[in-house]
Amino acid sequence: MQTLKRGIEMKDVMPSRRLLKVAAMVLAVMAAPVAHAADDAAKPAEAAAPAAGEAAKPADAAAPAAGEAAKPADPGAATAAAGETRTPLELVKAVEKGKLKNPFTDNPEAIEEGKKLYFGNSCNGCHGGGGGGGMCPSLTNETWVYGSDDDTLFRLITLGSATLKSEQGFKAIAKETVTGPMPGYQDIITDTDKLWKIIAWIRTVFKGRAEKRNW
């Protein structure tokens, strides 16, 4: 009887063990896709990481931030275009020395107007009607007290010789017979184009050697 009871009990237990095994197998099968999905989700992050020894690419620093206006060109850059809106005084204060360039050099129409402006602003009273000099240096020879390039001449006429030296650091590099310092025309010639046209005409009376023409 005891053997029969044990046989019955074992029969009752066996199905339970089988059910547990089946349940375990089902759970294992269900867990496998979840594990694979977790692995797949991690892959994009791994792909984004740079390879060993490869430097990370920097963000584009040149692109302006959203809503941020692009930076304007350097206001101290050289000027060589007609129609400049800044006055001669504003220009010499803003632009680095040596970078001012006459946009009207060898322009026939501008030269003709420059000649009229030369006389209209009484430049001839000191430098002579043909630029040959008088109370002040000649504009026709190779001797230029502070230099003969466009930048220097523009600043000299605008500021006058005293301010050219004291505020802009220019020094005399040559000697000429003069009766006094040149006054500044910043309050008389306030149109930058007009001043450039006067300088364009002055270039036409130069009688020096071609290699001395540095404009």
Choose from 23-32, 61-70, 76-85 the range with maximum mean pLDDT.
76-85
Q: Do the Cβ atoms of 102 and 78 come closer than 8 Å? A: no
Rounded distance between C-alpha atoms, residue 208 and residue 215, angstroms:
13
Q: Report how far apart the first and last C-alpha atoms of the chain are (Å, whole number).
A: 129
Instruction: Pick the more confident residue, 51 or 209.
Output: 209
For range 71-86, the mean pLDDT: 68
User: pLDDT value at position 4?
Assistant: 42
**pLDDT tens-digit profile of 138-197?**
999 999 999 999 999 999 999 999 999 999 999 999 998 887 899 999 999 999 999 999
pLDDT score for 176: 86
Least confident of 51-60, 126-135, 159-168, 194-203: 51-60
CA distances from 34 to 23, 39, 45, 96 (A): 17, 9, 18, 69
Determine the average pLDDT of the residues in 53-62.
Answer: 49
Residue 169: CB atoms within 10 Å? 8
Distance CA 82, CA 102 (A): 9
Of the candidate CATH numbers 3.90.1150.10, 3.40.50.620, 3.30.70.960, 1.10.760.10, the domain formed by 88-212 belongs to 1.10.760.10
